[in-house]
């Protein structure tokens, strides 16, 4: 049984002027148990809609979404227990402290304060977050620190499927490294399956077992990084992942980050 | 946590406590705003009560000033409580959307009933405390005619009304799901219509017939009727039964109706992608 399986998933949105945007166009993919799958794509390619569909926040028009064999559209409550998500926006109650936000997040998954506190201490230590600062309001923390708390919040509920939607976008290099190292550890220590959406090529290559490229709601390819690069080899030269991305999408990395969704 | 399996009812209870505790944390963080709001509510109730003191100055009609002032104060206090309860429920979605946490709340496994129950429970406790404080301050300023008051009867009416108003508030809470930009404004219109037709500061009988017809479906109307006869006349359980009976029926109808409407709104928002923070 796969951790995640999507079959022919379609999703369109109507815009105000009657224009229809096809966010997901017959998307099929799977993530095996303990596997990390990366999705590379420019902004507006449908990555966030993909994550929202899996996390039961958007209902697909057509197709099947299964999390550990359970239909996520028909039985959202069952699959919600087994997964969590980190998005590009840290999304917290800004006036509350990191600790208060974490305790709140844990309780929504049935984890009591008594159970959560030692776990929070352990996770914060692992991510290199000073315990004292956990008592400060979120709005006093840097973006990098907020993102570490977002990862801690997700991990606190022990998800077996993690959905990471551009978790390092906008972070300084040091915070980016810390967060990436943390994701690495999650994978090793917690045996979680991870779907990682990003436009950071290095991140995808370093963290992912397989990498897919997504453009205009379609997944063009989904292979091991080396195999994906080999697909776009010219004259026997294996391109970098960045070159592969440019060849597949027609976007440079900078353009991919700048395009508005 | 992985490996720890709790029965469903227990995880839902933990989640209810999560919502209550979160709102308590937020109240603590916004403490100065809470103080400002309490002062505003108290002064507002006092200003309305003074209308009763000034009423005798107009015309030659003899009025029982003490009783009229108490009538107005009871209206002001009950409206403050009930409108606060309605607002907290109706802002459930728009508040989380503003904070940016709505998607995390909606993708958690706790049920929507748990979510709304937690919000409603905190609002009731907070509202009762705020109203008691306001009443205490007003006691110091006015010679109120509460010699015959049946406080337990009034509290019973308030509790029963809270249930039906929670249902009403849940229906209003769905509006920001249907329209992220305008939904909350519409819920303020609903709140102001309740204020107009429910007899907060005057008897419903002075209203035009069409407004009186709307008043019959407002739980606030019956809460004010019951609350006033309990506090002003000292009415006992038997006399309060009529108001309580209607409020119970409204609770039985409005709460499941509210949850059902909210569910439909949630499905619509998930189909159209309107749950998203930016709307």
Domain ranges of chain B: 8-272
Q: Which residues of chain A have a Cβ shorter than 8 Å from any chain B Cβ?
A: 13-14, 49, 52, 55-59, 77, 80-81, 85, 87, 89, 91-96, 100, 103-112, 115, 119, 137, 153, 157-158, 160
Choose from B4, B6, B8, B25 for mutation: most chain A CBs within 10 A.
B25
Mean of pLDDT values over A2-16? 93
Contact A95, A27 (CB under 8 A): no
pLDDT value at A118 more than 90: yes
Mean of pLDDT values over A108-137? 92
pLDDT confidence bin for B11, thresholds 50/70/90: very high
* From B4-8, B185-189, B214-218, the region with the lowest mean pLDDT: B4-8
pLDDT value at B146 more than 60: yes
Quick count: other Cβ atoms within 10 Å of Cβ B7?
9
Q: Which of these, B102, B185, B274, lies nearest to A16 by C-alpha position?
A: B274
- Tokens standing for residue B70: 């108490």
Q: What is the model's pLDDT at position A30?
A: 96
Which residue has 């006691």 as its token pair?
A: B139
Domain boundaries, chain A: 1-82+161-167+193-261, 86-158
**SS3 label, residue A213:** strand
CB contact under 8 A, A13 and B109: no
Q: What is the model's pLDDT at position A236?
A: 81
Mean of pLDDT values over B174-200? 87
Q: What is the model's pLDDT at position B171?
A: 86
- Tokens standing for residue B68: 């009229």
Enter the ipTM: 0.88
pLDDT value at A260 more than 70: no
- Measured between beta carbons, which residues in chain A are less than 8 angstroms from residue B2? 158, 160
CB contact under 8 A, B30 and A112: no
Q: What is the model's pLDDT at position B1?
A: 47
Q: What is the model's pLDDT at position B31?
A: 93
Kindly report the three-state secondary structure assignment for every residue of A26-62: EEEEEECCCCEEEEECCCCCCHHHHHHHHCCCCCCCE
pLDDT value at A258 more than 70: no
Question: Distance between CA A154 and CA A131 in Å, rounded?
Answer: 18
Q: Which of these, A250, A255, A211, lies nearest to A230 by C-alpha position?
A: A211
Q: Measured between CA atoms, how close is A228 to chain B, in angstroms?
A: 32
Q: What is the model's pLDDT at position A261?
A: 43
Mean of pLDDT values over B183-196? 87
Q: Which of A14, A100, A153 sits opposite B25 (nearest CB)?
A: A100
First to last CA, chain B: 32
- Measured between beta carbons, which residues in chain A are less than 8 angstroms from residue B17? 107
Question: Distance between CA A85 and CA A192 in Å, rounded?
Answer: 12
Q: What is the pLDDT of residues B13-24, one digit of tens each?
A: 999 999 999 999
Q: Measured between CA atoms, how close is A96 to chain B, in angstroms?
A: 7
Q: What is the pLDDT of residues A197-248, one digit of tens each?
A: 988 888 898 899 999 999 999 999 899 999 999 988 888 888 888 888 888 8
CB contact under 8 A, B29 and A137: yes
Choose from A110, A155, A189 for mutation: most chain B CBs within 10 A.
A110
pLDDT value at B3 more than 70: no
Q: What is the pLDDT of residues B229-271, one digit of tens each?
A: 999 999 998 999 999 999 999 999 999 999 999 999 999 999 9
Q: CA-based angle B138:B144:B149, to the nearest 5?
A: 105
Q: What is the model's pLDDT at position B79?
A: 93
* From A89-103, A244-258, B106-120, the region with the lowest mean pLDDT: A244-258
Question: Distance between CA B90 and CA B75 in Å, rounded?
Answer: 22
Question: Distance between CA A103 and CA A91 in Å, rounded?
Answer: 15
Contact B250, B244 (CB under 8 A): no
- Measured between beta carbons, which residues in chain A are less than 8 angstroms from residue B1? 111, 115, 119, 157-158
Average pLDDT score, chain A: 90
- Tokens standing for residue B144: 């109120």
Whole-number CA gyration radius for chain A? 18
Query: Torsion-angle region of residue B69: left (phi > 0), alpha (psi -120 to 50) or beta?
Result: alpha
Contact A46, A33 (CB under 8 A): no
Q: What is the pLDDT of residues A166-205, one digit of tens each?
A: 888 878 888 888 888 888 888 777 778 999 998 888 889 8
Contact B12, B110 (CB under 8 A): yes
What is the DSSP annotation of B136-194?
HHHHHH-----TT--HHHHHHHHHHHHHHHHHHHHHHHTHHHH-TTTHHHHHHHHHHHH
Q: In the CATH scheme, what is the code of domain A1-82+161-167+193-261?
A: 3.40.50.300
Question: Distance between CA A97 and CA B71 in Å, rounded?
Answer: 44
Helix (H) or strand (E) holding B113: helix B112-141
Question: Distance between CA B18 and CA B163 in Å, rounded?
Answer: 21
B63 vs A100, higher pLDDT: A100
pLDDT confidence bin for A96, thresholds 50/70/90: very high
Mean of pLDDT values over B26-32? 93
CB contact under 8 A, B271 and A59: yes
Q: What is the model's pLDDT at position B277?
A: 52
Q: What is the model's pLDDT at position A88?
A: 85
CB contact under 8 A, A59 and B2: no
Contact A174, A92 (CB under 8 A): no
Going along chain A, which residue ranges are E strands? Answer: 4-14, 20-31, 36-40, 62-67, 70-71, 83-86, 161-165, 193-198, 210-215, 218-223
- Measured between beta carbons, which residues in chain A are less than 8 angstroms from residue B117? none
**Which residues share a beta bridge with A21?**
A13
Note every long-range contact of A124-129, with CB atoms under 8 Å and residues 24 or more positions apart, other chains counting: A124/A148, A124/A152, A126/A182, A126/A185, A127/A151, A127/A152, A127/A178, A127/A182, A128/A178, A129/A98
């Amino acid at each position: 049984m796969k951790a995640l399986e999507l079959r022919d998933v379609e999703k369109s949105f109507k815009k105000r002027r009657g224009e229809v945007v096809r966010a997901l166009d017959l998307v099929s993919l799977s993530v095996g148990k303990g596997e990390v799958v990366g999705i590379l794509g420019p902004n507006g390619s449908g990555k966030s809609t993909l994550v929202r569909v899996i996390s039961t926040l958007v209902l697909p028009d057509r197709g099947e979404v299964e999390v550990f064999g359970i239909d996520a559209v028909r039985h959202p409550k069952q699959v919600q227990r087994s997964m969590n998500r980190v998005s590009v926006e840290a999304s917290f109650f800004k006036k509350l402290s990191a600790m208060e936000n974490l305790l709140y997040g844990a309780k929504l998954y049935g984890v009591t304060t008594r159970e959560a506190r030692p776990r929070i201490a352990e996770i914060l230590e692992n991510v290199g977050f000073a315990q004292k600062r956990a008592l400060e309001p979120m709005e006093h923390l840097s973006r990098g620190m907020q993102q570490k708390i977002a990862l801690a919040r997700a991990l606190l509920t022990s998800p077996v499927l993690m959905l990471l939607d551009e978790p390092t976008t906008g972070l300084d290099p040091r915070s980016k490294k810390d967060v990436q190292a943390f994701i690495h550890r999650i994978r090793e220590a917690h045996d979680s399956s991870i779907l990682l959406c990003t436009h950071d090529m290095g991140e995808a290559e370093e963290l992912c077992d397989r990498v897919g490229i997504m453009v205009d709601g379609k997944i063009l390819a989904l292979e091991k990084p080396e195999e994906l690069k080999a697909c776009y080899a010219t004259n026997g030269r294996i391109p970098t992942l960045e070159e592969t991305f440019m060849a597949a999408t027609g976007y440079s990395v900078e353009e991919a980050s700048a395009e508005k969704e | 946590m992985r490996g720890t399996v709790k029965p469903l009812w227990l995880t839902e209870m933990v989640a209810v406590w999560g919502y209550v505790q979160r709102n308590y944390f937020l109240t603590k963080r916004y403490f100065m705003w809470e103080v400002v709001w309490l002062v505003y509510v108290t002064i507002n109730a006092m200003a309305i009560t003074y209308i009763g003191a000034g009423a005798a100055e107009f015309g030659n009609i003899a009025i029982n000033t003490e009783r009229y002032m108490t009538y107005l104060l009871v209206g002001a206090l009950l409206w403050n409580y009930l409108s606060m309860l309605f607002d907290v429920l109706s802002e459930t979605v728009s508040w989380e959307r503003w904070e940016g946490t709505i998607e995390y709340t909606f993708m958690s496994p706790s049920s929507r009933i748990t979510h709304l129950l937690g919000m409603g429970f905190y609002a009731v406790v907070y509202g009762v405390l705020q109203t008691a404080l306001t009443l205490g301050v007003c006691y110091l300023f006015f010679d109120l005619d509460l010699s015959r008051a049946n406080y337990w009867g009034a509290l019973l009416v308030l509790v029963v009304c809270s249930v039906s108003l929670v249902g009403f508030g849940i229906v209003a809470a769905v509006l920001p799901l249907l329209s992220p930009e305008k939904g909350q404004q519409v819920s303020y219109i609903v709140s102001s219509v309740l204020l107009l037709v429910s007899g907060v500061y005057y008897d419903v009988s002075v209203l035009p017939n069409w407004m009186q017809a709307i008043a019959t479906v407002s739980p606030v109307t019956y809460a004010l009727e019951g609350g006033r006869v309990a506090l002003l006349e000292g009415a006992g359980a038997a006399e309060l039964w009529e108001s309580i009976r209607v409020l119970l029926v409204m609770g039985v109808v409005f709460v499941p109706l509210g949850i059902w409407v909210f569910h439909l709104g949630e499905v619509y928002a998930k189909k159209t992608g309107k749950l998203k923070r930016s709307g």
